[in-house]
Every structure is written in C-alpha cells, then in structure tokens.
Amino acid sequence: MKLKGKSQVLRIYIGSMDKYNHTPMYEVIINEAKKFGMAGASAFRGILSFGANSTIHSAKIWTLSADLPIVIEIVDEKNKIEAFTDYILNFFEDKNFGGLITTYEVEVIHYIPHQKEK
C-alpha cells in the first residue's frame, strides 16, 4: 500500500477497561482497522486523564485507577478514515461507550514497511 501526501488521522480516546464482548475495546478497534485494510494503527496508554464525566484517571500509586486512558491513532486516506469512522461508531453505540473521536489532516512524508532480514 502506498500512502504519501495529504492523509487523515483518526484519533479515538477510550478507557482501558472498555470491553466489547469480553475483549478490550482498543484491541477490537485495532483488529477491525487491520481487517478494514487501514494503512496503520497504534494504541497508546496514558498516565493521566479526564473526560466528559470530569473523573480523574491516574497511574499514580496513591490514586491508582484501573481505567487508564487509551488513545488509538489510525492513519489513512480521508475517504477510508471517514468510512471506518462510520463503521466503528456502531461498536460504540451498541455498548453505549463513552469516549472522544476526532480527525485531523496530516502530511505523510514517509510510509514503507520494514525490510525483512535475509
């Protein structure tokens, strides 16, 4: 797959405890992105957050929260990001998940797979 120039980032903020049919939601989203043929996806664990409920989630020992923030970023062409966003919203609506979903435009400068060692 080639990806260069103007592209789109889909950024999804959820909690690490969010599950879809007993599977962590971040795993579901990443696996669905792969099945969908997206160019790339990553999930990052945060150390401190709050959202629409204004509840602080922290990785500090004295205020340890089991529900740490997860940010998922998916990069691809704008039309594929829009289609995937529509698709993935069904997962959120099906389970009444909270969260935040955003997109923004980026300029892809370099996108090639790792070369396998011989």
**Which of 49, 59, 37 is CA-nearest to residue 13?**
49
Instruction: Return the pLDDT at 101.
Output: 95
End-to-end CA distance of the chain: 22
β-pairing, 19-20 vs 5-15, is unpaired
- DSSP 8-state class, residue 62: G
Instruction: Return the pLDDT at 69.
Output: 87
- Ordered per-residue pLDDT tens for the chain, 118 residues: 788 899 999 999 998 888 988 999 999 999 999 999 999 999 998 877 666 666 666 655 555 556 788 999 999 999 999 999 999 998 888 777 788 999 999 999 999 888 877 6
What is the second-level CATH architecture of the domain 5-108? Answer: 2-Layer Sandwich (3.30)
Question: Distance (Å, rounded) from C-alpha 20 to C-alpha 26?
Answer: 9
Question: Distance (Å, rounded) from C-alpha 14 to C-alpha 102?
Answer: 12
